[in-house]
Chains A and B, each alone.
Chain A
Amino acid sequence: METKNVMIVGVGGQGSLLASKLLGSILTDEGYDVKVSEVHGMSQRGGSVVTYVRFGDKVYSPVVSTGEADYIVSFEKIEAARYAAWLKDGGRIVVNIQQIDPMPVITGAAEYPEGILEELKSKGIFVDEIDALSMASDAGSSKAVNIVLMGRLAKYFDIGKEKWLAAIEKLVKPQFVEINKKAFEIGYSS
């Protein structure tokens, strides 16, 4: 199988590392060769973060470059636009419509662009928008945005729901398992 590429992008602190770990773990259990690339340190302090998950028969490069991503899961609205060039022709963006102002917007040095997802759609990009923050709150924690989004992504994968839930049980601390399973279900059934 040709290597498939998923990018998980968002704002440092939103839980993209757990999301990529979950995806990496499931894909490994499915028998794929998998590479997951993360960025630590400086970039985690509220900066733009990107994680690459690649899987297939044999994966070489640890990173995804422009025009290669089959899926981009964006935890924030403009981050989807920032990395849109990484999407391959026919790829899909799953995006949380939450707006988190970057510092230049907060200070007034830049404006938060309006209608950016509409622009992406007008260019023929498949954009799947969800309000993951509200869904996460419904599940019991606004921190579960990451798992809601993974639930939504899971709809595009041919991997049984029970396998995802089992992986959540394996990776998440016991006290947060129920909330995260609920968050996954809400994302998956949305």
Chain B
Amino acid sequence: MKKMMLGNEAAARGLYEAGVKVVSSYPGTPSTEITEFAAKYDEIYCEWAPNEKVATEVAFGASLRGVRSACAMKHVGLNVAADPLFTLSYTGVNGGLVLFVADDPAMHSSQNEQDSRHYAVAAKVPMLEPSDSVETKEFVKEAYEISEKYDTPVIVRMCTRIAHCQNVVELEDRKEIPVPEYEKQPQKYIMSPANAVRRHPFVEERTKKLSEFGETSPLNRIEKGSSNEIGIICAGTCYQYVKEVFGDKVFVLKLGLINPLPERLIRDFAASVEKVYVIEELDGIIEQHLNKLGVPCVGKELFPPVGEFNQSTIRAAFGLPQPKSVSSDTPVPVRPPVMCAGCPHRGLFYVLSKNKITTLGDIGCYTLGSAAPLSALDSTLCMGASVSGIHGFNKAGGADSEEKTVCVIGDSTFMHSGMTGLVNIAYNGSNSTVIILDNSITGMTGHQQNPTTGYNIKGEPAAAVDLEELCRAIGIKRVRVVDPYDLKQCEDAVKEELAVKEPSVIISRRPCMLLKYVKPKPALKINPEKCVSCKMCMKLGCPAISIKDKKAFIDPTQCVGCAVCGQLCKVGAIEV
């Protein structure tokens, strides 16, 4: 049977066909759907873990017990999971273990453009990179064979244009892998120094064997072209762009195993062509390998280390003609993403913005609160950094800063890595005010459950973390809950908690408007007789409110009746 599949769905299908039994992940664009699709197979136990480190360690535990397991994350998630990864390289696996890491060149939905291939090199684990959905499924299955044959975790590198591109995939049957009896192997799995010193040489030896494997594996292949003037080495999406432009006109070395890289294959390929080009998005990792081998090539001087490529990038680099195009001369205003109409974060951000409070932000939908007109945020670094950061900010700034600074973090991000920062605030005593934006879901990645929501990945009831009790248990005595649709309540809470000389947590609680169980109220209307065009309501940056004929106008198709704007209107012009 054939099916159109996103790369991420094909990855999940690969897990299914490979007989994988356990998948644990934390959501992150563009990797999220791998786990969501895997969860549709009853044969695979799937879960959302609180963060990528936990998820990777769950996958390790499953592997230790002898079953095939996996974990999917976005590129920055691997920073969080790097700790287990580097030592997993030493322990190797019992059941096959595959990590998916999805890079995001051009940062469609990310805070940086890091290149995950560095991790494969640094942790000395093999990395495969598919170039479409078909290869994704094949490579996942091959990854498990490699993992078990070479006793190593394997990383499958995805990127936005593979993860979120659909093409037709041929479905095959699942191969059930019997679960072996558990056998204790302390020298392999207890990475105390005495054991680790014996495992490190194994890792080095394994890399040599994998490099040798790459010389002849069909994962790496040479496609001969009609002319050998140009020879291009590439992988993943770049392979597709090269074929789009050159078809069968040039020689291509298409790499599927991108770590470790082969030597003889590259030398032989280079010897068969007049000039070698290395085309890779982000960093020049393959190019550096060629430099090390002493094989002359053209790489980053033509293909920049920033952003995403496409066929046009390739044509430009080779001086080929571009298709003719006509563009508009009128400047078109940008259309950045915004917080939705009725977003519960908006009311709180308005209060912070109005009171000119310094606000350290975090990763989630609420990063959008940085945009005008709210302009509510001062920083966004990485998951959890708002809570740890405010402590440092206040320690540095003293009482003056403690009175005017808060941090904001979502419920899911707080569970991911905000908690430990809060422990630090309590333990090392800064009078910091932490605001947890509890919208009862992991929002930005598309509504995944998390440990605070009371449901698991399949939507079944699950234990729910009680945020108030958790914060108290950590040592925060002042914990209060506010409704972000109630501006006065928010403002009072923020002012009071900033004034007190002890750490406090404000939980701003209201479910995301996009959740199915949240029923919108009737749209509000502006009474043009009463509206005095003061534009107070415009300060919210609500996409449903605009100015039409000099009066405020509420778009009835967008308004969900949250009534936050009504609290700003001094003349009562906003009506039900």
Contacts and interface: CB of A to CB of B under 8 A. Distances in A.
Interface string A62-98: 1101111000000000110110111111000000000
B311 A45 contact: no
Contact of A37 (B161, B332, B340): B161
B365 interface: yes
B546 interface: yes
Interface in B101-122: 108-109
Interface in B175-193: none
B161 A62 contact: yes
Interface string A132-174: 0000000000100000000000000000000000000000000
A24 B371 contact: no
A121 B151 CA distance: 62
Contact of A67 (B108, B240, B323, B330): B323
Contact of B30 (A21, A41, A45): A41
A33 B325 contact: no
Contacts of B161: 37, 62-63
A102 B331 CA distance: 13
B62 to A, nearest CB: 28
Contacts of B332: 78, 81-82, 113, 116
B167 A33 contact: yes
A183 B108 CA distance: 32
Given A35-B166, A38-B164, A67 B372 contact: no
A12 B312 CA distance: 26
B500 interface: no
Chain B residues touching A, majority SS: loop
A103 interface: yes
Contacts of A37: 161, 164-166
Chain A interface size, as a band, is: 35 or more
A42 B325 contact: no
B164 A89 contact: no
Contacts of B89: none
B365 A45 contact: yes
A103 B310 CA distance: 29
B333 A105 contact: yes
Contacts of B292: none
Contact of B334 (A104, A111, A120): A104
A51 to B, nearest CB: 10
Interface residues of B, number: 59
B444 interface: yes
Contacts of A105: 333, 546
A119 B330 CA distance: 8
A47 B337 contact: yes
A59 B311 CA distance: 12
A188 interface: no
B543 A39 contact: no
Contacts of B108: 39, 41-43
A122 to B, nearest CB: 10
Interface in B37-56: none
A112 B324 CA distance: 27
Given A41-B29, A62-B237, A107-B372, A47 B335 contact: yes
A107 B310 contact: no
A49 B373 CA distance: 22
A48 B324 contact: no
B557 interface: yes
Nearest to A76: B335
A66 B371 CA distance: 29
Given A39-B108, A62-B237, A112 B333 contact: yes
Given A60-B244, A88-B323, A103-B543, A45 B337 contact: yes
22 contacts: A24-B166, A35-B132, A37-B166, A39-B164, A40-B164, A41-B108, A41-B109, A45-B444, A46-B335, A46-B337, A46-B340, A62-B165, A62-B237, A65-B312, A85-B325, A89-B323, A89-B325, A102-B335, A103-B335, A104-B333, A116-B332, A123-B326
Question: Which 3 interchain pairs have the tightest Cβ spacing?
Answer: A41-B109, A67-B323, A41-B29
Interface of B: 4, 6, 29-30, 32-33, 108-109, 132, 160-162, 164-168, 237, 240-241, 243-244, 310-312, 322-340, 365, 368, 371-373, 444-446, 538, 541, 543, 545-547, 557
Given A38-B165, A42-B29, A104-B334, 9 more contacts: A24-B4, A35-B166, A36-B165, A39-B164, A41-B446, A42-B108, A61-B311, A62-B237, A68-B323
